[in-house]
Amino acid sequence: MIRVVVAGAAGRMGQRIVHMVHNHPELVLSGAFEQSGSGAIGKDVGAISGLGEIGVKITEGVDSVLDRADVLIDFTFHAVTVQFARRAAESGTAMVIGTTGLTSEELTTVRTLAEGHFPCVQSPNMAVGVNVLFKLVEKAAGVLGDAYDVEIVEAHHRLKKDAPSGTALKLGQMAATALGRDLAEVGVMERNGIIGERSDREIGIQTIRGGDIVGEHTVYFAGMGERLEITHRATNRDNFARGAVLAAHWVVSQPKGLYTMFDVLGLHTF
């Protein structure tokens, strides 16, 4: 059995991952933790996540459980993800990182640590449908080329902390790369006032936050006289959790290095 520890186990994603790990025939939930001060510490993680008691208590901090982990699944907060990656590097523990909002410096740190010390799957979206969307957008941008304006709109629940979503940024990167552009140069994340005409090369990424929207992404390829729109809508979090659990099962038998869901799902050549 593969021993899985879940970080942020009482969170929205943590709870769904606990469910999926608990019900997986080849995985065992060997630990679940929250940060110091959390009201969930000491409680049975099954009771918190709606499974009923399963005999695994939520403990305090990564060091309380890391020695019980073959793989650590992290859906928490960008700054702590890097701390967990440092600890995983020391112990050689595999990781699955779903947390978004990492700065480019934090992403570089995670990459360097993983390449030197442990296998890690990192993706801003673990859902199969979204990973297919990434590839469709890459292909569509490559075929349509500069004659079509690329605009991305994402919508999420009112409690989300980062914007734009990690998924929207990756969609922007996929389109930018296919068009030979650099998203850091051409990405436009806000428009307000007398901004003038749209430039040919910009890629717009706009954000909606409200209510309990789980996660929606639309990519527009707007041409003169026609428009292609490709949308993914998540209606619950199980798609993300299922992908994270698939990645956890896959990553434990990989050599050290940083991987994406394209590796897990075999989508590189799609």
Ligand X SMILES: O=C(O)C1=N[C@H](C(=O)O)C[C@H](O)C1
Ligand Y SMILES: NC(=O)C1=CN([C@@H]2O[C@H](COP(=O)(O)OP(=O)(O)OC[C@H]3O[C@@H](n4cnc5c(N)ncnc54)[C@H](OP(=O)(O)O)[C@@H]3O)[C@@H](O)[C@H]2O)C=CC1
Binding residue positions for (S)-2,3,4,5-tetrahydrodipicolinate: 157, 166-167
CB of 33 to ligand Y, least distance (A): 6
CA quadruple 242, 37, 103, 116: dihedral positive or negative? Answer: negative
Q: Which does 8 bind (CB under 5 to 8 A by kind): ligand Y, ligand X, none?
A: ligand Y
Give counts: helices (H), strands (E), the chain. 9, 12
How far apart are alpha carbons 233 and 217 in whole angstroms?
7
Indicate the residue among 124 and 204 with the shorter CB distance to ligand Y: 124
- Is residue 80 within the footprint of ligand Y (CB under 6 A)? yes
Among 118, 134, 148, 240, binds ligand Y (CB under 6 A): 240
CB–CB of 31/45 below 8 Å?
A: no
Q: Please report, as residue ranges, which positions from 83 to 102 form the binding site for ligand Y (by CB under 6 A).
A: 98-101
Which of 156, 170, 232, 249 does the annotation list as catalytic?
156
- Is residue 10 within the footprint of ligand Y (CB under 6 A)? yes
Q: Which does 156 bind (CB under 5 to 8 A by kind): ligand X, ligand Y, none?
A: ligand X
Q: Please report, as residue ranges, which positions from 110 to 139 form the binding site for ligand Y (by CB under 6 A).
A: 123-126
Where on the phi/psi map is residue 30: left (φ > 0), alpha (ψ -120 to 50), or beta? alpha
Q: Fill in the amino acid letter for 137.
A: V
The one segment of 4-12, 18-26, 107-115, 139-147 that binds ligand Y by CB under 6 A: 4-12
What per-residue string of b and e applies to 18-54 under the rule 16 or more CB within 10 Å gives b? bbbbbebeebebbbbbbeeebebbebbbbebbebeee
Among 14, 46, 119, 164, binds ligand Y (CB under 6 A): 14
Q: Which two tokens stand for residue 110?
A: 């995670």
Annotated binding site: 8-13, 34, 98-100, 123-126, 157, 166-167
Smallest CA-to-CA distance from 256 within 88, 42, 59, 50 is with: 88
Start-end of H helices in the chain: 12-22, 45-49, 78-91, 104-117, 128-144, 166-178, 183-186, 238-251, 261-265
CB of 131 to ligand X, least distance (A): 12
CB of 78 to ligand X, least distance (A): 11
Indicate the residue among 27 and 96 with the shorter CB distance to ligand Y: 96
CB of 75 to ligand X, least distance (A): 9
CB of 260 to ligand Y, least distance (A): 11
- Is residue 59 within the footprint of ligand Y (CB under 6 A)? no
Q: Is 156 a catalytic residue?
A: yes
- Classified as helix, coil or strand, 219 is strand
DSSP 164: S
How far apart are alpha carbons 72 and 95 in whole angstroms?
5
Indicate the residue among 187 and 215 with the shorter CB distance to ligand Y: 215
Burial class (CB in 10 A: 0-12, 13-18, 19+), 9: buried
Contacts to ligand Y by CB under 6 A: 7-8, 10-14, 33-35, 38, 75-77, 80, 98-101, 123-126, 162, 240
- What amino acid positions are annotated as catalytic residues? 156, 160
